[in-house]
Amino acid sequence: MRAGERTQAGARMRVFVPNLLSWDGSAPVTGGLERFARQLLRLLRSLGWQPEVWQYAAADWLKEWEGFPVHGCGLSAIALEAGFQQLHQGGADVPILYASLAFHPARYQPGSLVMSHGVWWDGAGVPAEQIRAAFRWAEQALAQARLVVSCDYNFLNVVRSWQPDLAGKIRVIPNFVDTDAFVPGDAGSQVVILYPRRLDERRGLQLFLQAAAALLPRFPQVSFLLSVDDNHPAETEKLRRWLADQPWREQVELVTASMEAMPEVYRRAQIVVLPSLYSEGTSFSCLEAMASGCAVVASDVGGLTNLILSGYNGLLLPPRASALVEALEQLIREPDLRARLGRRARQVAEEAFSLQRWEDQWRRVITQVYGRPLDRGPQHGAEGGTGR
């Protein structure tokens, strides 16, 4: 009997998330993958599953997030492969959903579903050996899983170019935005340009800062707003000190907003900049900016090209400071263009990337792969796992 046709002995499901919480389990991690995983857990629960998260950790521990048990796999401190294999112990008949590919050699549960968050090896400085390893890791998931869901078409097309037979296992479900929570704000006389990204060199922070240095002295009606994660407080404080030393510091604000506070942050902005260098899927930041009616300026990298049609609902450009400065200057000088791009961005978000559409698509593939949970009792052998 195929995996999608069998009935379950119970409703428990293990969900692999690299780091829903920090390695010591003390705090949630902020990022796109984690945002995806949290919404997926809620959807699984609404379908009758009892999902439990298994993640990399510095030691074995058991925590809780929104009522979901979160197991830390302490062998990860020795090797990620060892921590990954802990989630397969003590529950042979418990289905596993992998909310991310493993970036190391891995054995997946037969008949399972694996999530890809896009191509992560497309940076100019990524060593050739890392690129070869990335292809091996993607291939092992595609060969072993029943289905691989990708958040963008970039991953599908890359796989199709090198393993066309395996590409047939891929289903594309772009990421989502809650268009009820993220809504346009009131445009004021001050032009606010927002950078809503993690402090990760892949996200192009230096390009944004170079643009700020070039534009702010010339446009006193413009301010730059950086909303960054606080996963690494020391890095945030280092950036704060650097900004305080700049001659245009009065036109720049740095905040560390929670996910819940982000709708209000976007409502303050007219322009949102996503200058990613590489390793980008269908960015939540981009979708939230679109739903908020902002004019989006994004790099032509990865899944961003699945969200923005340049000149229609945003601007796409190569990840170079000169191109970014030129695009931002155009938007500063042309308020009608800003407004038009923002209106269309909101329309595309509502029609193509709503949370409801995402849930409907995921509901179908989860049922296709795992069937429907008919009994909410625990499966036999499900008691084993990490230490307490």
**What residue spans define the domains of the chain?**
3-176+355-370, 191-352
- pLDDT for the residue numbered 190: 87
Chain segment 136-192, per-residue pLDDT in tens: 999 999 999 999 999 999 999 999 999 999 999 999 999 999 999 999 998 777 899
For tokens 């009792």, the residue is: 377
Q: Which residues contact 376 (CB under 8 A, 6 or more apart)?
A: 10, 11, 48, 50
Tokens of 166: 């395996």
User: Which amino acid type is present at position 18?
Assistant: P
Name which residue leads in pLDDT, 257 or 275.
Answer: 275
- Best CA proximity match to 142, nearest among 152, 156, 127: 156
Q: Are 263 and 182 in contact (CB under 8 A)?
A: yes
Q: Is the pLDDT of residue 113 over 80?
A: yes
- pLDDT for the residue numbered 54: 98
Mean pLDDT of 325-353: 98
Could you tell me the pLDDT band of residue 302, with boundaries at 50, 70 and 90?
very high
**For all residues of the chain together, what is the average pLDDT?**
91
- Best CA proximity match to 20, nearest among 30, 11, 10: 30
- pLDDT for the residue numbered 174: 98
Chain segment 317-338, per-residue pLDDT in tens: 999 999 999 999 999 999 999 9
- Best CA proximity match to 68, nearest among 97, 92, 104, 106: 97
Mean pLDDT of 116-123: 93
Q: Are 112 and 98 in contact (CB under 8 A)?
A: yes
Q: How far apart are CA 118 and CA 359, in angstroms?
A: 19
β-pair type (68-73, 61-65): antiparallel
- pLDDT for the residue numbered 188: 74
Asked if 3-176+355-370 and 191-352 have one fold, the answer is yes
pTM score of the predicted model: 0.91
Residue 162 sits at the vertex; the CA angle it makes with 285 and 159, to the nearest 5 degrees, is 30
> 191-352: what fold?
Rossmann fold (3.40.50)
- pLDDT for the residue numbered 380: 44
Q: Which residues contact 132 (CB under 8 A, 6 or more apart)?
A: none
Q: How far apart are CA 28 and CA 231, in angstroms?
A: 9
CA distances from 103 to 56, 129, 262, 373 (A): 12, 13, 30, 30
Chain segment 366-381, per-residue pLDDT in tens: 999 999 996 434 454 4
> 3-176+355-370: what fold?
Rossmann fold (3.40.50)
* Alpha-helical runs (H) found in the chain: 32-46, 80-86, 128-144, 153-162, 164-167, 205-215, 233-244, 262-267, 284-291, 321-333, 335-352, 355-370
Mean pLDDT of 105-112: 95
